[in-house]
Amino acid sequence: MNYKKYIGDKAFYKTLVVLLIPLALQQSLSSVVNLLDNVMVGSLTTESLSAVAIVNQLMFVFNLTLFGAMAGASIFGAQYHGRGSAQGVRYTFRFRMLLSLALSVAGIALFLLMGDRLIRLYLNQEASSAGDLDYAFSEAKDYLTVCLWGVIPFAAANSLSSTLRDTGETYTPMLAGVIAIVTNAALNYILIFGHLGLPAMGVKGAALATVISRWVEVLFLLIRTLRSLDKYPFMQGAFRSAYVPWEVIRPILITGWPLLINEFLWSISNALINQSYSTRGLDAVAATNICGTVWQIFAIVMMSMGSAISILVGQQLGGGDKPRAMDTARKLMFVNVAASIAMGLIMIALSPLIPRIYNVNDHVRSITGSMLIVVGAMLPVDAATHASYFTMRSGGKTLLTFLFDCGFSWAVSFTLAYCLSRFTSLNIVWVYGIVQLANILKCVAGLWIVHSGIWLHTIVHDLKAET
């Protein structure tokens, strides 16, 4: 095997580091604050922690649907930037804003109409010998009601941040994210426990802190970009009209609809998988929530590398350099897997200690520790799978990514979780572990697809001037 083809030169790593550091810093701060939020809410009661976990799982479906809606435009945005077309990037930004706002209104309406019913899906009376389910429901309902005020600013901020990243600008989204994260952390401490003369609001305080931080983030992004139009040329006249030509809308819709459906259905499958885990009781809900939050910290490089692949490989494909795009994708995947091996080993080593920072019972701590060992061992597999997904997506092969991601989640992961939780007496750790191990099959398929090169595709063309 020629190992040199997996190793880049100094220029390659310099470009990667400049791009990756802001992405990783924002991701790491967000993950750490999520962990602190988890610990603060968990210090209230197990019911409160479970309530927040349930609502966050429901909001996760909306968030991923939103990301999926913008993903098609993001593919085109990166390729238009690689082609040197600020106008093309501007059109993709307008498309994102309009679509994300429409989805936000629809999402808010859905949660207002069906929120109670959705929350109760995760509260299993038979499995919960311990814990007050009525109190958990009340906490979840309160948390969701406040969170809805942050949906629209979240959508607008992500539309602008994703467009900036398409152009290779990762510093400004990072700075906005850091400001929002610090705001969220400080307000969580103040509002959850009632400091600085304010009343203790519990889970409502946690939700309000999130809402305020999202408004702060979107306002910072708008002010910064509109004051630096020479640096961000796609923002020149961006709000002058809502016009997006059909020659841009049509290919985005054709390319992007599988990603929208993919993220929507994948997030639902993930929610149903967690609902299957919840049949083992509130302790299982709390443990999977803690494990997922901790996993985000150790998966920082993996998640950031997905964005780096979208940007670098997408720009090279937009410029028509397919051999370079293949070479870049291969080297980025190698870096991702190598870093994830190290992070996975650290996670396994710390698995007995991490659950102790939570104010939960010993059973939850035991379950969480075992789950952390499982996900730590699987982190390199997840890294290769994650990189494969974003590599396919960068070339506009969205139907293929739909089958690869959503198809596998429903056909294998959800089916396993559902059957093991309903038709066996296996404890939550075994059910969780088997579902995670199945991802090895997905990883092998992803590596084969990337190696085949069928994803290499330039999808943008020169545009007429806007009139």
d(CA 124, CA 126): 6
Hey, where are the domains in the chain? 3-452
- What does the radius of gyration of the chain's CA atoms come to, in whole angstroms? 22
CA dist 25 to 80, 304, 397, Å?
27, 9, 29
Side-chain-side CA neighbours of 182 within 13 Å: the count stands at: 6
d(CA 82, CA 97): 21
Q: State the angle between helix axes of 300-318 and 322-350 in degrees (0 to 180), rounded to the nearest 10.
A: 180
CA angle centred on 296, ends 291 and 302, rounded to 5° = 130
d(CA 77, CA 397): 15
Specify the 3-state DSSP secondary structure of 81.
helix
CA dist 15 to 111, 317, 344, 438, Å?
42, 17, 25, 35
What backbone phi and psi angles, to 5 degrees, belong to 68? Answer: -65, -40
d(CA 7, CA 10): 10
- For residue 300, count other CB atoms closer than 10 A to its CB: 22
What would the two tokens of residue 219 be?
Answer: 């306002």
Nearest C-alpha neighbor of 371 from the set 352, 390, 356, 346: 352
Q: Identify the H or E element spanning 244.
A: none
What is the signed CA dihedral for 227, 87, 176, 10, rounded to 10 degrees?
A: -110
Structure letter (DSSP) for residue 453: T
CA dist 465 to 87, 91, 244, 256, 344, Å?
8, 12, 12, 24, 50
pLDDT per residue of the chain (467 residues) written in tens, 0 to 9: 566 777 777 887 887 887 777 777 766 666 666 666 666 776 777 777 778 878 887 887 788 788 777 877 887 887 788 777 888 888 889 999 999 899 999 999 999 998 888 888 877 654 444 557 788 888 889 889 998 999 999 999 989 988 998 887 878 888 898 898 889 888 988 998 888 888 888 888 888 998 999 999 999 999 999 988 888 888 888 888 888 888 888 888 887 777 778 777 887 888 889 889 988 887 888 888 888 888 888 888 888 888 788 778 877 887 777 888 888 888 888 889 999 999 999 999 999 998 888 777 888 899 999 999 999 999 999 999 999 988 888 777 778 888 888 889 999 999 999 999 999 989 999 999 999 999 999 999 999 988 888 887 766 555 555 54
